[in-house]
Amino acid sequence: MISFTSTTKTEVSKLNLNKVETISELSAIIKNIGIINENIKITTENASLARMLFSLIKEIYGVTSKVTVRQGYNFQKNYLYILEIKEKTHDIINDLNLNNMDYNNNYLIDDISLKRAYLTGLFLAVGSINDPKKSRYHLEFFVNNEEYSLFVCNLLNFFHLNSKMIRRENKYMVYIKEAEKIADFLRIINATNSLFYYENIRIYRENKNMTNRLNNCEQANVDKIIMTASMQIKDIELIKEKKLYDSLDDKLKNMCKYRLEYPEVSLQELSEIMSSELETKITKSGLNHRLKKIKEIANKLRKNEE
Q: What is the pLDDT of residues 19-64, one digit of tens each?
A: 999 999 999 999 999 998 888 999 998 889 999 999 999 999 999 9
Q: How far is CA 38 from CA 42, 85, 207, in A?
A: 13, 9, 55
Give the pLDDT score at 1: 65
pLDDT tens profile 173-219: 999 999 899 999 999 999 999 999 998 888 887 776 676 676 677 67
Confidence class for position 231, pLDDT limits 50, 70, 90: confident
CA distance linking residue 153 with residue 165, whole number of Å: 7
Please name each of the domains of the chain with its CATH number.
Answer: 4-190 (3.10.28.10), 214-305 (no CATH)
pTM of the model: 0.68
Give the pLDDT score at 74: 59
Query: DSSP of the chain, one letter per residue?
Result: ---HHHHHHHHHHT----HHHHHHHHHHHHHHHEEESSSEEEEES-HHHHHHHHHHHHHHH--PPEEEEEE-SSTT--EEEEEEE-SSHHHHHHHTTTT---TTS-GGGSSHHHHHHHHHHHHHHHEEE--TTSSS--EEEEES-HHHHHHHHHHHHHTT---EEEEETTEEEEEE--HHHHHHHHHHTT-HHHHHHHHHHHHHHHHHHHHHHHHHHHHHHHHHHHHHHHHHHHHHHHHHHTT-GGGS-HHHHHHHHHHHH-TTS-HHHHHHHHHHHHTS---HHHHHHHHHHHHHHHHHHHHHH-
CA distance linking residue 128 with residue 171, whole number of Å: 15
Give the pLDDT score at 31: 93
pLDDT tens profile 72-95: 665 556 788 999 999 999 999 999
Mean pLDDT score across all residues of the chain: 87
Average pLDDT over residues 215-233: 77
> Which one has a higher pLDDT value, 262 or 175?
175
pLDDT tens profile 109-123: 999 999 999 999 999
> Which one has a higher pLDDT value, 306 or 69?
69
pLDDT tens profile 51-63: 999 999 999 999 9
> Which one has a higher pLDDT value, 299 or 185?
185
Give the pLDDT score at 102: 80
- Does residue 30 contact residue 98 with C-beta atoms inside 8 Å? yes
Is the model's pLDDT at 221 over the cut of 80?
A: no
